[in-house]
Homo-oligomer: A and B are copies of this chain.
Amino acid sequence: MAPKFVSDRNLRFLLYEIFNVESLAQYSYYQEHSREIFDIVLDTAIKMGRELLLPCHAAMDKNPPTLADGRLSVNPVVRTFLTECGEGGWISAGASYEHDGQQMPAIMVSACQFVLSAANYSASVYPFLCSGAAHLILSFGSQELIERYVPPMFSGLWQGTMALTEPQAGSSLSDITTQAVPTNEGHYLLRGQKIFISAGDHDGADNIVHLMLARIKDAPPGVKGISLFVVPKRRIRDDGELEANDVHTVTTYHKLGYRGTPITQLSLGENADCRGYLVGEPHCGLKYMFQMMNEARISVGMGAAAIASAAYYASLKYAQERPQGRPISQKDPAAPPVPIITHADVKRMLLFQRAVVEGSLSLLLQCSLYQDLQKVTEGEEKERYSLLLDLLTPVAKTYPSEMGVLSVSQGLQCLGGYGYCDEFPLEQHYRDARIHPIHEGTTGIQGLDLLGRKLFTKNGKAANLYLQEVQSVILRAKAVPALQPYGKLLEEAVNELQAVTLHLAQYAMKGEYDLFLADSTLFLELFGIIAIAWQWLLKGIACQKALDGELTRIESLFYQGKLHTMRYFFHYELPKIYGLSRRLKEVDGLTAHMNPELFED
């Protein structure tokens, strides 16, 4: 039997009992959808994950992509998977009927991504990159670009990418220098270097389509001079044939993990013949790219939660089966050893993982639901969902990424020495998971985004909307006797968050932005813990309600287990905010004003 990598039951609990996905059908855009369709979609994703992706999880790690004679070879499963995703409509799922999509809600697409990424994160990245790149062209590209590039990407024959980073411009996108020189023939000629491009080249697709940031000759400096281009590896001739477009793969990086996906360095225009096609207006590239980047940030969070999910179930299985030691009260050395899951510290490590995995997944689906609601609502309501999504994106990227690393580490720890060896999948998960706090904006960048930009957008409107969401859950919890203490704990935590925020805001108002933002990473950490507590309380309410009815033993254990994990979160994780808030309120310039020479020796 294939090992468990996600909980099917938990996914349905979240989709149907928490986020009530069926109710999206009330909006005309989603009216064709129903629970039956959602169930089929989910079943198919789980089957594809188990039967196609999981079996090559270790092999794709042990035999990473190779670059030889100009060919970047990947595991053959990549082509199979991309083709199946194309044929099954997975890549186009979120697009409108008009664009041959299925108008699938983002929350369903996210849930499926969770499943596929848990089975094999590296493999899952390929179609989702196609999807994101195609959506970007659909949103901002000309009819011609749409007609030429989107269909082969939706079919899984062409790989889409996002090409932003350059050797001198990692986190600092405003410094990109790849140049685009206009021609009289409608296209631009590109020249430059791009690094760290995921799936930037490989033989599992017939062509690679880069959605690339570049600077039109004589554009203004900084982010206001960045434009977006479609830059294919092979361009389409007028006769419809493909020809080389002067895009060269310099190298594929040797990485700690995430080895099934090639991450490439590209050189553009070495022969002054690399054509790029402008997407939308000149100088608006970064704004456009943020559509894909924001989706990618949610995707990264989802990938992190997914790897942590696979690691959790691997360590749970081990803990259930491995006999070692005796209960603390058992003094007879001849008594048989017990499975390690009976030891308190092992239960703690498992609960930690479960709380992180399911809490993260819940927050991420919440964000995807906001994305759906933003799409189908109007006016004030639309703005509400849009602001909530924007505010929570850095949180939904970072909490799963940072805590996912720790969660997998605890999973590895459950196996002791075996966790460190490659007979078990934990060591690979541990390596794979470490990419997430880095790509699509490091944790430091997300902290600046949350505190320096999102929190005070529109005079703090986003923050106020978020507080309303959390407070409404607190109110509902307080009405349930068993959950009252937890409602109070979250209320206390939210008060602390507000106190910290107000304290920090003083420095912004005084114009002391360096002090204001010095500990933004810690602020994000505090904010993230509370967001996950909010989601756990939301789930706790549903579980308590279910437990008040008639249940089978199995169902009762399910809801009790969830409630127990919620309790774990409130008792072990939530208290961490008090250490953080203690620090956050100090604002002493300890880092911001520190002389870097003090690091000498």
Binding site for B on A (CB under 8 A): 7, 9-10, 165, 168-172, 174-175, 195-196, 221-224, 253-258, 263, 316, 320, 323-329, 333-334, 337, 339, 341-348, 350-351, 354, 405, 409, 412-413, 416-417, 419-423, 427, 430-431, 434-435, 437-439, 442-444, 447-448, 513-514, 517-522, 554, 557-558, 560-561, 564, 567-568, 571-572, 575-580, 582-583, 586, 588, 590-592, 594, 596-601
Contacts and interface: CB of A to CB of B under 8 A. Distances in A.
30 contacts: A171-B324, A175-B324, A221-B333, A222-B333, A222-B334, A223-B333, A253-B421, A255-B422, A257-B420, A328-B514, A329-B514, A341-B599, A344-B592, A345-B520, A348-B518, A350-B599, A351-B594, A409-B434, A416-B442, A420-B438, A557-B597, A557-B598, A557-B600, A558-B600, A561-B598, A561-B600, A567-B590, A571-B588, A576-B576, A578-B579
Contacts of A257: 420
Contacts of A256: 420-422, 427, 430-431
Given A172-B324, A334-B222, A586-B571, A417 B430 contact: no
A147 to B, nearest CB: 35
Nearest to A350: B599
A579 B586 contact: no
A590 B571 contact: yes
Given A416-B438, A443-B413, A344 B254 contact: no
Nearest to A592: B344
A567 B590 CA distance: 8
Given A174-B333, A575-B583, 7 more contacts: A10-B601, A171-B324, A257-B420, A316-B599, A345-B444, A345-B447, A575-B582
A327 B513 CA distance: 10
Nearest to A601: B9
Contacts of A427: 255-256
Contacts of A347: 591-592, 594, 596
Nearest to A253: B421
Given A337-B175, A598-B560, A435 B420 contact: yes
Given A413-B438, A422-B254, A594 B345 contact: no
Contact of A420 (B221, B255, B591): B255
A348 B591 contact: yes
Nearest to A347: B591
Contact of A328 (B423, B517, B600): B517
A105 to B, nearest CB: 24
Contact of A417 (B165, B423, B522, B580): B165
A519 B334 contact: no
Contacts of A568: 590-591
B334 A221 contact: yes
Nearest to A421: B253
B329 A591 contact: no
Contacts of A168: 323-324, 337
Contact of A598 (B564, B576, B577, B583): B564
Given A174-B333, A347-B596, A590-B568, A439 B422 contact: no
A579 to B, nearest CB: 4
